[in-house]
């Protein structure tokens, strides 16, 4: 998946929604449409999940609140990303702590079955 696709998929899983509104110009409403992201009526930029550990931590916590058991699947997916040959069998907990935000994002998307392989 491309980075922006990953960012959007994680945001949507965390409750962000893409909304539209008519643009307002100097003379009032125009025919132009503006797109914006909203979560719980708060408008803003999507978090940078692939580069921000705090944003990724919040995404993981959102998932755990919805489905506590998904933590085990997430850890398994993350271990397989870090060590594709042996997965979690040879992966220590300390190694998992070294995972980048991007690796955690991939594991998150694989856990919720939203990961798509990049087409060449």
Q: Convert the pLDDT of each residue in 100-112 to its tens digit.
A: 999 999 999 999 9
Domain-embedded: residue 20 = yes
* Distance from C-alpha of 57 to C-alpha of 81, rounded to nearest angstrom: 18
Total number of domains in the chain: 1
Domain-embedded: residue 66 = yes
- Comparison of pLDDT for 36 and 52, the residue scoring more: 52
pTM score: 0.81
Band of residue 88 on the pLDDT scale cut at 50, 70, 90 = low
Across 22-56, b (16+ Cβ under 10 Å) vs e yields eeeeeeeeeeeeeeebeeeeeeeebbebbeeeebb
Domain-embedded: residue 48 = yes
| Residue range(s) defining the domain that contains residue 70 | 3-111
- The mean pLDDT of 4-23, rounded to a whole number, is 86
* Distance from C-alpha of 25 to C-alpha of 99, rounded to nearest angstrom: 46
| Among the listed residues 4, 40, 11, the one whose alpha carbon sits nearest the alpha carbon of residue 108 | 11
Domain-embedded: residue 118 = no
């Amino acid at each position: 998946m491309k980075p922006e696709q990953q960012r959007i998929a994680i945001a949507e899983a965390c409750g962000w929604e893409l909304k539209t509104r008519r643009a307002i110009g100097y003379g009032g409403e125009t025919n132009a449409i503006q797109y914006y992201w909203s979560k719980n009526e708060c408008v803003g930029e999507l978090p940078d999940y692939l580069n921000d550990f705090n944003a990724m931590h919040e995404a993981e916590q959102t998932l755990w609140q919805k489905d506590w058991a998904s933590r085990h699947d997430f850890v398994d997916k993350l271990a397989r990303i870090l060590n594709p040959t042996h997965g979690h069998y040879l992966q220590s907990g300390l190694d998992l702590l070294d995972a980048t935000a991007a690796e955690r994002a991939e594991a998150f998307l694989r856990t919720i079955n939203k990961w798509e392989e990049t087409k060449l």
